[in-house]
């Protein structure tokens, strides 16, 4: 990533919970298309995320959402410009959520300069390895978007 | 006037995973109390059948993003028992070391980010971070130390990839581990300071006459091995777990509830280990206990936050001891050919004993798997705590009583998730 030398993309999810794996799937796809982008597939707690963005200017986080929107809807949020509602990424595997990590980091002054959140609306979060059809389609949309983001 | 009330929390925050709590109070008595949880280890038990034994530690690590080591260690140990392998010397120390990393990161996360806000009157760690930025930053730095310990040995902190049946894919060199020594020395001081901060929290008065269950090792504070003991006379090898314990299906939960056949519900985790195995703690941890104002005989579940802080000091002390004497072993793992057999493993996850049993065939394929995680063992004890706690707090408003119930659930740092997502609490006062 030349122009945004200090950018990291973090895909979050649980690979065994169907649509919850979307963040991981996006990260894996991006990795297969580009080997010079810093990409992390992450399945742990929110608190550790703060360590993952230390030292980077720009962070992109991709995770599943369950907000009641149409499945496959892609939500985007600029986390530096606005507070992240606790309901964003509310389908979180962990007690300490992504939104909480970002807001705690804001208060202890550990946010990067830029932070883009991409939430993909899921519909099936049962144990399983497959994405639902609308989420599978959104996967392609987000990968294409982030590949061009990479070149921006 | 007698109180009738229903407490219902649809989303109980700051616990790992998904569940709900429903409490009904009629005439000042708790007439119904259900902790509803969904527990994925059962899904994993089915998923593991047909897999090769060598895959099991990596698959079970995915059960939980917070305590992958607990699942990897218990499953590896069970497979080693089935295969007749013995992992000792520096390899055994390395295992204990990476497990210390997990205790540190898990305990610090819960203590600072999930539980301390309760005692300080905050809704969450975000509010706490506004007023206590230094303490929150210190908590995050300590937690990172645990994560880094896991990463250095395990390859990565979430779902470490370096652990295998028989040892490690690759044992780290002395030079790789050496930089951790100075940081852990810092961590020990920091954890003492953290204990002092936590000792100032206002802890609700409440005591329960528990049966505590923990592993017990002759020389060590229990992490990786030992016999199963209790304060009511239980003293058995881990292989006899199923003779003395049973799991019961209750309608309101997909998790099975554990009980001791001869008696009833029991408690596993920090409070059990501290009360049963206090004598084996190093001096630093006993000093921390003094600072925290706790000693064996501590039967107040709300004080578990202090015990976690003491155990964090212990884990740092133990990590330092192992790091200082570490010599890279000649072999990273031991192995043998599989044959049809059954093996059992049990280790102390941060939240309590995590028990596994596997059967394999002559090709090393898993034919049966059983996993008993700590939270399902504590589930009925959490409900029992609420049954005893609520009648002593009926003067509280519905909101405050609901909060106190949630706080009481969080005493157990319940890892309901291991992949699920809501804890709903319903408080019903008619």
- Residue B253 pLDDT greater than 80, yes or no: no
What is the CATH classification number for the domain harbouring B62?
1.10.645.10
CB-based contact B278:B222 (threshold 8 Å):
no
Domain that holds residue B133: 5-429
The pLDDT of residue A10: 94
Helix/strand/coil for B382: helix
Q: Do A104 and B158 touch (CB under 8 A)?
A: no
The number of folded domains in chain B is 1
Name the interface residues of A facing B (CB cutoff 8 Å).
14-17, 42-45, 47-48, 50-51, 86, 91-96, 100, 103-104, 107-110, 125, 127
Which residues from chain A sit within 8 angstroms of residue B105, using beta carbons? 48
The pLDDT of residue B61: 82
Q: Do A44 and B158 touch (CB under 8 A)?
A: yes
Q: What is the pLDDT of residues B283-336, one digit of tens each?
A: 999 999 999 999 999 999 999 999 999 999 999 999 999 999 999 999 999 999
Helix/strand/coil for B205: coil
* Cβ neighbour number for residue A104 with a 10 Å cutoff: 28
- Residue B418 pLDDT greater than 50, yes or no: no
Is A95 a domain residue? yes
What is the C-alpha radius of gyration for chain B, rounded to an integer number of angstroms?
21
Domain that holds residue A67: 7-151
Distance from CA of B191 to the nearest CA of A (A): 18
Is A2 a domain residue? no
Which of A94, A98, A106 has the highest number of chain B CBs within 10 A, making it the mutation to test binding with B?
Answer: A94
Which of B126, B151, B158 has the highest number of chain A CBs within 10 A, making it the mutation to test binding with A?
Answer: B126
Which residues from chain A sit within 8 angstroms of residue B126, using beta carbons? 100, 103-104, 107
The number of folded domains in chain A is 1
Question: Closest-CA residue in chain B for A42?
Answer: B158
Is A43 a domain residue? yes
Output b/e per residue, B162-190; b: 16+ Cβ within 10 A.
Answer: bbbbbbbeebbeeeebeebeebbeebbeb
Q: What is the pLDDT of residues B354-397, one digit of tens each?
A: 999 999 999 999 999 998 889 889 989 999 999 999 999 999 99
What is the CATH classification number for the domain harbouring A73?
3.40.50.1450
Q: What is the pLDDT of residues B145-182, one digit of tens each?
A: 999 999 999 886 555 679 999 999 999 999 999 999 99
Confidence class of residue B84 from pLDDT cuts 50, 70 and 90?
very high
Is A1 a domain residue? no
Which residues from chain A sit within 8 angstroms of residue B136, using beta carbons? 104, 107-108
Which structure tokens are listed for A85?
């509602």
Question: Closest-CA residue in chain B for A125?
Answer: B420
Strand order in the sheet with A7-12: A38-42, A7-12, A58-65, A114-121, A74-78
Which structure tokens are listed for B162?
């370096």
Q: Give me the tens of pLDDT residue by residue for chain A, a chain 152 residues long.
A: 444 468 999 999 888 788 989 999 999 999 888 777 799 988 877 888 898 998 899 999 999 988 888 999 999 999 999 998 876 765 554 567 888 899 999 999 999 999 999 999 999 887 788 999 999 999 999 999 998 875 55
B128 against B257, higher pLDDT: B128
Which residues from chain B sit within 8 angstroms of residue A79, using beta carbons? none
- Residue B424 pLDDT greater than 50, yes or no: no
Which residues from chain B sit within 8 angstroms of residue A107, using beta carbons? 126, 129-130, 133, 136
Rounded-to-integer distance, Cα B390 and Cα B373, Å: 27
Read off the pTM: 0.89
Distance from CA of A60 to the nearest CA of B (A): 19
The pLDDT of residue B419: 29
Confidence class of residue B254 from pLDDT cuts 50, 70 and 90?
low
Helix axes B270-277, B304-325, angle to 10 degrees: 70
Average pLDDT over residues B239-251: 89
Rounded-to-integer distance, Cα A56 and Cα A36, Å: 15
Average pLDDT over residues B196-223: 97
């Amino acid at each position: 990533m030349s122009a945004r030398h200090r950018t990291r993309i973090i895909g979050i999810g649980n690979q065994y919970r169907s649509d919850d794996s979307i963040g991981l799937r996006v990260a894996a796809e991006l990795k297969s298309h580009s080997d010079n982008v810093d990409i992390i597939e992450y399945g742990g707690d929110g608190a550790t995320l703060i360590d993952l963005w230390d030292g980077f200017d720009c962070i992109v986080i991709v995770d599943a959402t369950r907000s009641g929107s149409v499945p496959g809807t892609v939500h985007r949020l600029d986390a530096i410009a606005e507070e992240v509602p606790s309901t964003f990424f509310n389908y979180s595997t962990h007690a300490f959520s992504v939104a909480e990590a970002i807001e705690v980091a804001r208060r202890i002054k550990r946010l990067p300069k830029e932070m883009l959140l991409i939430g993909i609306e899921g519909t099936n979060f049962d144990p399983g390895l497959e994405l639902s059809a609308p989420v599978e389609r959104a996967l392609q949309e987000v990968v294409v978007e982030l590949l061009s983001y990479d070149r921006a | 006037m007698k109180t009738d009330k229903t407490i219902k929390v649809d989303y109980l925050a700051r616990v790992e995973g998904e569940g709900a709590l429903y409490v009904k109070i009629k005439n000042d008595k708790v007439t119904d109390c259900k902790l509803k949880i969904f527990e994925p280890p059962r899904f994993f038990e089915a998923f593991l059948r047909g897999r090769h034994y060598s895959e099991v530690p990596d698959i079970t690590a995915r059960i939980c993003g917070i305590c992958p080591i607990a699942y990897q260690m218990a499953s590896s140990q069970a497979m080693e028992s089935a295969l007749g392998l013995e992992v000792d010397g520096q390899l055994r120390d390395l295992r204990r070391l990476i497990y210390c990393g997990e205790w540190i990161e898990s305990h610090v996360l819960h203590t600072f980010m999930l539980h301390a806000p309760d005692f300080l009157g905050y809704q969450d760690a975000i509010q706490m971070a506004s007023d206590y930025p230094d303490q929150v930053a210190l908590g995050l730095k300590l937690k990172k130390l645990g994560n880094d310990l896991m990463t250095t040995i395990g390859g990565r902190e979430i779902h470490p990839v370096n652990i295998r049946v028989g040892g490690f894919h690759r044992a780290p060199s002395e030079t790789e581990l050496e930089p951790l020594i100075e940081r852990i020395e810092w961590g020990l001081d920091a954890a003492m300071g953290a204990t002092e901060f936590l000792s100032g929290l206002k802890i609700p008065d409440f005591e329960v006459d528990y049966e505590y269950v923990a592993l017990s090792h002759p020389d060590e504070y229990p992490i990786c091995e030992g016999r199963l003991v209790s304060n009511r006379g239980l003293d058995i090898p881990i292989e006899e777990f199923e003779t003395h314990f049973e799991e019961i299906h209750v309608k309101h939960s997909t998790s099975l509830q554990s009980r001791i056949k001869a008696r009833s519900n029991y408690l596993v985790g920090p409070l059990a280990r501290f009360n049963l195995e206090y004598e084996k703690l190093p001096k630093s941890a006993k000093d921390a206990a003094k600072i925290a104002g706790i000693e064996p005989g501590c039967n107040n579940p709300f004080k578990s936050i202090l015990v976690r802080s003491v155990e964090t000091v212990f884990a740092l002390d133990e990590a330092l001891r192992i790091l200082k004497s570490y010599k890279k072993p000649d072999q990273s793992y031991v192995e043998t050919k599989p044959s049809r057999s059954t093996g059992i493993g049990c280790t102390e996850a941060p939240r309590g004993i995590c028990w596994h049993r596997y059967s394999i065939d002559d090709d090393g394929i898993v034919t049966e798997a059983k996993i008993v995680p700590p939270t399902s063992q504590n589930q009925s004890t959490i409900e029992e705590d609420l049954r005893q706690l609520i009648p002593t707090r009926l003067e509280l408003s519905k909101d405050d009583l609901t909060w106190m119930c949630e706080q009481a659930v969080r005493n157990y740092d319940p890892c309901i998730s291991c992949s699920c997502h809501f804890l709903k609490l319903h408080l019903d006062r008619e």
